[in-house]
Structures are given as structure tokens and as C-alpha cells.
């Protein structure tokens, strides 16, 4: 099977790429990136692209599975408008091109609380993206909605503190709908979900599903 991935240089995307390359069921992986990556593997083809001209690279998107792990923070983007371009527009364009290249199963990394009608910008952005990708009518679409994502090597002090607080609350049975997950754990579940047959077309995996080994 051939897999295509966007967002392979991000915290979670890096781990997804590792899982794909290690999986014997995957014979080839195409990673669309904005900057060079050092990964060298006989199954891997790295395509450096201009995301504003993604259509120029459409022929690289033909495959069996596609994984969209692209995303940025408001701080890194600089504005809500710029974040919307990365988190919504680029991913939707990627999905549309994958559909045109007859990708059968599209896997989207979204977030807990995604809702196009949310009063919160981030949740509204993610919910709008989900709805727009659903409208593309992939034969199979899996939407992953994790809670807080923990990067083991993060240097962000607030992220470390928040993660520890949330873990403590979870142990007391509180806020389990936001249960944190490491990038490595999440990547394993994302790739695992890509191989699950889904006759209903659209499948959403919420926080509790990501800790259920039966998926």
C-alpha cells in the first residue's frame, strides 16, 4: 500500500511518518513538506512543495491512504487569518487533491471539541475543516479528535505544567474527555486507524477511542 502524508515535519507528523515507514503493509510513502527533512528510507519519497501552489504537485498524491497532520499555533502563525490558512485551507486543498487522485481512505488529525458553530476560534476552525472534508465524500474518512497532545521533548514550560496538571486531574477521574496523549502514542493510533475498514464512510475517534486498543 502507498501512503501520502502532509505535516510530516510537525511533532505528531514526524511520529506518524516513522510508524508508516516501519509498517510492513506500507510499501511506499510520499511526504509533502515545506522544508527539507533528514529522513532517508528506501520507501520514502520527500517532495518539497509550495503549499500555495499545491495543485502543481497533484500527481504525487496518488495512493491508497492519506494522512493530514498539518497544523500550527496562533503564536507561530502570527494571526488568526494566517493560522486558518495553514490549519484549514492547506489541509482542505490537500484533501481535495487526494480525492481527485482517487485516494480511498483519508485520515485527518483534528481536535477534541471541534464544532463549526463553536464560539472558540480554534474549535470553530477545526469543525469547519471536518465538515468541508466530509463534503468531499471519500470512500473512507477517519477523523481523529485527541485531547491535549504531549510532546516529550517540548521546551515550552506552560505545556509541561498543563500536561502534569491534566494528568493529575485525569487520575482523579476528572476531565477525561481531554485526556492527554503523547505524540508517539497518538501516531500509533492514527496509523492503526488507517487500516480499519469502515463501511459507513465517516468515522470519528474521540479521546476515549484513542485509549481503546480494539480500534
* Active-site residue flag, 57: no
With DSSP H G I counted as helix, E B as strand and the rest as coil, what are the percentages for the chain, rounded to 5? 45, 20, 35
| Residues forming a β-bridge with 149 | 181
Using CA atoms, how far apart are residues 112 and 127, in angstroms rounded to an integer? 10
3-state secondary structure 115-181: CCCCCCHHHHHHHHHHHHHHCCCCCEEEEECCCCEECCCCCCHHHHHHHHHHHHHHHCCCCHHHCCE
Using CA atoms, how far apart are residues 14 and 1, in angstroms rounded to an integer? 19
Among residues 2, 18, 122, 184, which one is catalytic? Answer: 122
Q: Which residue carries 483519508 as its cell?
A: 106
For the record, the C-alpha cell of 125 comes out as 476552525
Among residues 14, 90, 99, 126, which one is catalytic? Answer: 126
For residue 214, with 0-12 CB atoms within 10 Å meaning exposed, 13-18 middle and 19 or more buried, which class applies? exposed
* Active-site residue flag, 122: yes
For the annotated catalytic residues, the residue numbers are 122, 126
Amino acid at each position: 500500500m502507498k501512503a501520502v502524508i502532509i505535516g510530516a515535519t510537525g511533532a505528531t507528523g514526524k511520529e506518524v511518518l516513522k510508524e508508516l515507514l516501519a509498517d510492513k503493509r506500507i510499501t511506499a510513502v510520499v511526504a509533502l513538506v515545506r522544508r527539507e527533512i533528514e529522513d532517508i528510507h528506501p520507501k520514502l519519497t520527500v517532495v518539497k512543495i509550495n503549499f500555495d501552489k499545491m495543485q502543481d504537485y497533484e500527481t504525487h498524491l496518488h495512493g491508497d491512504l492519506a494522512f493530514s497532520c498539518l497544523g500550527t499555533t496562533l503564536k507561530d502563525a502570527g494571526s488568526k487569518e494566517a493560522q486558518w490558512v495553514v490549519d484549514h485551507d492547506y489541509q482542505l486543498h490537500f484533501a481535495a487533491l487526494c480525492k481527485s487522485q482517487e485516494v480511498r481512505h483519508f485520515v485527518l488529525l483534528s481536535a477534541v471539541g471541534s464544532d463549526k458553530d463553536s464560539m472558540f476560534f480554534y474549535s470553530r476552525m477545526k469543525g469547519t475543516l471536518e465538515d468541508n472534508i466530509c463534503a468531499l465524500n471519500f470512500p473512507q474518512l477517519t477523523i481523529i479528535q485527541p485531547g491535549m497532545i504531549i510532546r516529550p521533548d517540548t521546551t515550552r514550560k506552560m505545556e509541561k505544567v498543563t500536561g502534569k496538571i491534566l494528568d493529575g486531574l485525569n487520575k482523579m477521574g476528572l476531565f477525561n474527555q481531554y485526556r492527554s496523549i503523547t505524540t508517539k502514542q497518538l501516531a500509533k493510533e492514527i496509523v492503526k486507524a488507517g487500516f480499519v475498514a469502515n463501511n459507513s464512510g465517516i468515522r470519528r475517534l474521540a479521546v476515549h477511542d484513542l485509549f481503546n486498543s480494539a480500534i
